[in-house]
Amino acid sequence: MGHDQPFARGESPPGWAEIKIREEVFANRFAAFKHKLAHAAGKIGTILRLAREPVRVHYDSVFSRITIFGKHFPQKLFTFSHNSQNRHLPGTPLALTRKTELRAEAPAIDVSDLRPRAKSSILPQHEPMELPMKRHRWILLLALATGLRAAETPKTNAPAASTNEPPAAKAEAATIPDATHKPVLTTNTVAIGGRRVTYVAETGMLPLLSSNGTSRASVFYVAYTRTGQTNPTTRPVTFCFNGGPGSSSVWLHLGALGPRRVKMNEDGTLPPPPFGLVDNEYSILDASDLVFIDPVATGFSRPVKDEKPDQFFGDSADLDSVGEFIRLWTTRHERWLSAKYLCGESYGVFRAAGLADHLRARYGMYLSGLVLVSGVLDFATIWNNAGNDVPYPLYLPAYAAAAQFHKKLPPDLQADLTRTLAEVREFARGEYVTALQQGKALPADQREKVVAGLARLTGLSPQVIADNHLRIDEGVFRKQLLHDQGLILGAYDARITGRDDDPAAPSPDFDPSSAAVLGPFAAAMNSYVRGELKFEDDLPYEILAGVQPWNYGVHNNYANAGEKLASTMNQNPNMRILVLGGRCDLVCPIDTMRYALEHIPLDAAYRTNIIYAEYDSGHMMYINLPDLQKMQRDLEVFLK
């Protein structure tokens, strides 16, 4: 087994093996090193070479593989575990000792007791670590060779196996597809509106191409196209993604729009495991083809070897990469003449607004419309930092809706939510804003009046409101509304409650609404992609990936995509906007979107292109079955 190029000897004394491990990690995600180094050197001949000359071993954690002598091997033989107190510092020089262990059908070399070789000797992040081995080469040789022979010849007194018996099964290499692999096509049907819809599901990877045509990353996607269409260009196609940043598209995919959906309780609360997947009779596949995109680092999407993931972590880089995916998919599938829509949720709304402008300016791709689900357009509307009072009045209608759901409002406000929200918005835009603008200069009598008004409209006690200086943070509201019952509210859906273990804490310990969806959606996606879609990838499907720090491209200001959206609508006056929001969403209340859209520089003639739809539940309104049914009707009308 040869290698591609000779390895220069290091400065270690003769007879020592020099091992160089390269650890690729995502930014801010190196709390612990990978414990498994890949299948390496399955034959004793290779091990003999380890003893004859210095060796360079390269470990790539993105693809979970080890490289020895220029050859790649999948996982099984070697397990490296880090017990160093400094294991959170990649690049620390470490001394290496060995321990032999036999496992199943393949030997494992557990190199434990990795301790820093020099105090505070830290190399730059992501650089290879030089690990001189503190044992004679023949100790390593003996350990490896013994382990290999033990695996090949089991220790037993039983007679030799009959030659008629089948050979022992060999360990399979890991399956890690990329954009060089062909997509997997499956055909299936779903009943929508009482009619059977036959479709082809295409599951695979597309490359993100650089200017010289080389691939920078492989982006995972699932596309659904309805069969039996004589002219595909007459069919709309909708590109869908969630937000985060750092979220996969699983929520819209298996919660709202695709042909299968996660089985939740009808009100969107957590069902008991095991979880399930059912046909989605409320899919919009009858009205539009669908493409679900997982941005780089989410889902199965990964950068190619030697490309750093953090180059994709920012507003501008994100628009470039997702925009390039949409262009290439549209080109390869000959859909340039189709009506094209974007559907984004949460931060995906911010992305969709920027993409509409990017696709127009970069590729001349004009969109027919945007579906903006529970999103943010201007971060000044949701980040209540010191000195920014904009969010407080905009959150007030969501607090009132949540309080009404939990029956914490006075009888007249409990009776009619529509009328209640009208009163809340009038108070928020008038008396409340005026009081906040005065700050500490607000007279005491006016302060007491505002405290009483807020208590009436939110269900909170006057003392809580006074203690927070009229500024009710969503964490305070979630903690205090049902505090007397020992319950906390969900952030993504304030209808959903839970219990934390610290009643005295100022804010909840976790989000019950987020906990309600993570398990069912994770189980469903991991089952669905291998089962029905027939796509195999041994890497974990990253539902929520760490992509921080995220570069919003602004300094001493709040990120705002409003001007990009207005510019696109001015130059493409036929593009329409559908804004969807849940009344009990305490992360991105729909009034924050109203405020942002009311402040973009858009002529009144084009404002009729913006349509709003409200729902009873929260951020993921589609997990509440009545809201999912309404959402389908709203989308069907919009897409026609």
| DSSP states of 35-65 | SEEEP---SHHHHHHHHHS---EEEETTTTE
Decide which of 136 and 588 is more confident.
Answer: 588
Token pair 């299948």 is found at: 39
Question: Is-contact 134 95, C-beta < 8 A?
Answer: yes
H/E segment holding residue 184: strand 184-192
Closest CA to 404 of 584, 625, 589, 613: 584
Q: What angle do CA 418, 266, 588 make, to 5 degrees?
A: 50
Phi first, then psi: what are they for 419, rounded to 5°? -65, -35
Mean pLDDT of 146-161: 38
Decide which of 336 and 164 is more confident.
Answer: 336
Residue type, 491: A
Distance, in Å, from the CA atom of 337 to the CA atom of 636, rounded to the nearest integer, reads 20
Helix, strand, coil % (nearest 5) of the chain?
Answer: 35, 20, 45
- pLDDT, position 57: 47
Distance, in Å, from the CA atom of 350 to the CA atom of 364, rounded to the nearest integer, reads 20
- pLDDT, position 503: 87
> Average pLDDT of the chain?
80
- Matching CATH number, 184-380+518-639, of 3.40.50.1820, 3.90.230.10, 1.20.1260.10, 3.60.150.10: 3.40.50.1820
Query: Would you give the DSSP letter of residue 409?
Result: S
Banded model confidence at residue 33, pLDDT cuts 50, 70, 90: very low
Q: What angle do CA 336, 341, 345 make, to 5 degrees?
A: 140
Cα torsion 253, 257, 258, 261: sign = positive
Distance, in Å, from the CA atom of 58 to the CA atom of 306, rounded to the nearest integer, reads 12
* 301-321 pLDDT per residue, tens: 999 998 999 999 999 999 999
Assigned token pair, 452 = 């009483």
Query: Would you give the DSSP letter of residue 622?
Result: G
> Strand (E) positions, 210-288?
215-226, 237-241, 260-262, 277-279
The residues pairing with 580 across neighbouring beta strands, listed in sequence order, are 373, 613
Query: Would you give the DSSP letter of residue 256?
Result: I
Residue 9 buriedness (CB in 10 A; 0-12 / 13-18 / 19+)? exposed
Q: 245 preceded by cis ω (within 30°)?
A: yes
For the ranges 109-118, 257-266, 348-357, 546-555, the lowest mean pLDDT is seen at 109-118
Q: Is pLDDT above 90 for 184?
A: yes
Residue type, 616: D
Mean pLDDT of 326-348: 98
- 587 CA to centre of own chain: 16
- pLDDT, position 5: 34
Query: Would you give the DSSP letter of residue 253?
Result: I
Assigned token pair, 21 = 């491990």
* 370-400 pLDDT per residue, tens: 999 999 999 999 999 989 999 999 999 999 9
How many CB atoms neighbour CB 519 within 10 A? 15
Q: What are the boundaries of each domain within the chain?
A: 18-152, 184-380+518-639, 388-513
Report pTM. 0.74
Query: Would you give the DSSP letter of residue 304?
Result: P
> Strand (E) positions, 315-364?
340-345
Question: Is-contact 257 348, C-beta < 8 A?
Answer: no
Distance, in Å, from the CA atom of 524 to the CA atom of 514, rounded to the nearest integer, reads 16
Distance, in Å, from the CA atom of 496 to the CA atom of 621, rounded to the nearest integer, reads 12
Q: Is pLDDT above 70 for 22?
A: no
Quickly list DSSP for 101-130.
EEETTEEEEEE---EESSTT--PPTT--EE
* 462-497 pLDDT per residue, tens: 999 999 999 999 999 999 999 999 999 999 999 999
Distance, in Å, from the CA atom of 452 to the CA atom of 208, rounded to the nearest integer, reads 56
- pLDDT, position 159: 36
Query: Would you give the DSSP letter of residue 374?
Result: S
Residue 177 buriedness (CB in 10 A; 0-12 / 13-18 / 19+)? buried
Query: Would you give the DSSP letter of residue 82?
Result: -
Cα torsion 618, 624, 630, 633: sign = positive
The residues pairing with 211 across neighbouring beta strands, listed in sequence order, are none
Query: Would you give the DSSP letter of residue 587?
Result: S
